[in-house]
Structures are given as structure tokens and as C-alpha cells.
Amino acid sequence: MSAEQCWKVTLPCTKAEGEAIAGDIGALAQLDEPPVLMTSEPDPTRPDDWRLDAYFETKPDKASLAMLRALVPSAAGRTLAVETVPQQDWLILSQAGLEPIRAGRFFVHTAAHADEVPEDAVAFQIEAGRAFGTGQHETTTGCLMMLDRMRRQGARFADVLDLGTGTGLLAFAALNLWPRARAIASDIDPVSIEVTLENAQANGVALGGGRGELGLVVADGMNDALLKAAAPYDLIIANILAGPLIEMAPAIADALAPGGTLILAGLLDHQAEPVARAYRRQRLRLADRIDRGDWPTLRLRKRQMW
């Protein structure tokens, strides 16, 4: 097959399955070249009947197809539609045409909507691109709303970590709310840090290690010397996935200062209690919650002492 082509696999799915895939692509994320997954609602008159399209760089093997099927149990027994299509940047196309969103004081938009910024809004221009976190997903919106709510309630923070930053958006918002803070945006994916750098420059976010500046770090969770050296943080934002959040609970809690605040997102409603339980074991308590559809955003506080 030509390098100008890729493989497309199509399966029917339910609305619930499609929304879950937006936050977790399961075992497919562990592949050397994970597919780009796009879900859609082909027929508005049948709102629960969605479609999943998966785009692979190379012909998917049986194991990859089995992982794909595991994401949509409702399609058990259905025939996979597999075809070759012209090669394109499917991640960018999947985010193209994004409508702006308003989350508290924040307005997140692409260049196409730059003339629509409300006068009372703090605007960030985040283009469709190679990393998660354009503000469109309910998890990102929920985090923006939680940050805005905390600022309105008088919260103050001096050392901030945006763990798994994606596009840098949540780190930008935190620095806007607490402009004298030191902030770090980290991600396991070097591409995300490249995108965050580009977005910081486009939005006038100062880079560096001082107060009012944003440091950028490629790191696997909290397992990084720079992140450990900058700890403890009085605010950590982690919009990731439920599994990694539970796995990293001891390390994240250890990096949080006594009395510090932790914002968790990237989890579905039924995952909120297991995630909160993992952090209760680390002496954090649930202080607030915002629900956006099936996607909760949790705010936790670390106890001052046992």
C-alpha cells in the first residue's frame, strides 16, 4: 500500500460507548502507533446509534482489531468494515471546525472564532492539533470551571503542576488566575510539550522557572527529577484517565503540600468513587465536584495532618 494511504476500520457503537472512547481508548493506547479514533452520530433521528471510525497507519492485525472490538461491546458479532483511504492528519481533522466554549470566565476558541470573544472573558486560542485538551471535551471544560470557581471563592496558589497537560490549556488558565505562581506543565508525550510551547507563545504565556512563568517538562507521571525537585505543589491538576490516576495516587499525593488542592478529571461517573477512594487512602478528602454529562471533575484537599 502507498505511504499516502492508511487503513480505516468502522464499527457501529452506542452513544455511551462513543463518549467513553473520547476519554479512554483502552489497550490501543499501548500500541507503538495507536490509531486515531473518531466517533460520530450519523443519523440525528437515532441519537443513540453512533459510529466508530479508527484510522491505522498500517494494516491492523488481529490483536489490534480485537482491542478495537473491546471498546464497543454492543457491536459483538458485527462485521468490521475495513478499507484503505487517503492518508491525512486524522487527529487534526477530528478536531477541525471546533466551536468555541465558555467555561466560567474562560473562552477557548480557534482562529476561526477569534472575533467572537466576549468582552468579559479571558480568551485562549487553541487550534485543532496533535494533542488532547482543546477545551471541547467535558473533562477539560470541567477543570476550567473548577479553577474559575476556586478563584471566585478566594483560593490562592503559589506552586502549580498541570500533570498530563495535553495542549497546556489548564496550565495557562491557572497562571491567569494566579499570576504570581510558579507553574509546570508536564506530559509523557513529547509532542504534547511541543504543542504546549507553541500554544504558550501564541497566547502570550511567559516561559521559565520563575513566578508568573510556565516550565515545560516531558515526564512519565511523577517519575521525573525536575518534578520531584519542584515539589511540593499547593495545586495539582491531573486530567488523565481513571486507571493512571489510581495507580499514581501515592506519588501525586506525596508531591502535594499539606492543605494542598488536587483537581482530578478524565474519569467517567462510575469511576469517580474508585478514584476518590484511592486518594482517601492518601489522606485526601473530596471537597467539591462538577459534573458535565457523564464526566465528573473532582476537587480534593490534602489533610494538614493524620
Asked whether residue 80 falls in the same domain as residue 139, the answer is: no
Domain boundary among 34, 59, 88: 88
What is the extent of the structural domain holding 267? Answer: 95-302
pLDDT at residue 29, as a whole number: 79
Asked whether residue 171 falls in the same domain as residue 266, the answer is: yes
Asked whether residue 57 falls in the same domain as residue 182, the answer is: no
Asked whether residue 74 falls in the same domain as residue 114, the answer is: no
Asked whether residue 132 falls in the same domain as residue 273, the answer is: yes
Say how far apart CA 171 and CA 200 lie, in whole Å.
Answer: 10
Asked whether residue 216 falls in the same domain as residue 257, the answer is: yes
In the annotated binding site, the residues are 140, 164, 187, 239
Spans of the chain below 70 pLDDT: 1-3, 22-24, 87-98, 128-137, 305-306
pLDDT at residue 93, as a whole number: 53
Q: What is the CATH number of the domain that holds 11?
A: 3.30.70.260
Asked whether residue 65 falls in the same domain as residue 173, the answer is: no
Asked whether residue 12 falls in the same domain as residue 135, the answer is: no
Asked whether residue 55 falls in the same domain as residue 108, the answer is: no
In the annotated binding site for S-adenosyl-L-methionine, the residues are 140, 164, 187, 239
Domain boundary among 62, 88, 114: 88
Asked whether residue 80 falls in the same domain as residue 110, the answer is: no
pTM: predicted TM-score of the whole model, two decimal places: 0.72
Chain segment 60-82, per-residue pLDDT in tens: 999 999 999 999 999 888 888 88
Say how far apart CA 126 and CA 100 lie, in whole Å.
Answer: 10
Chain segment 189-219, per-residue pLDDT in tens: 898 899 899 999 999 999 999 999 999 999 9
Q: What is the CATH number of the domain that holds 244?
A: 3.40.50.150
| Number of folded domains that form the chain | 2
Enumerate long-range contacts of 204-209, CB under 8 Å, 24 or more apart.
Answer: 205/168, 205/171, 205/172, 205/175, 209/182
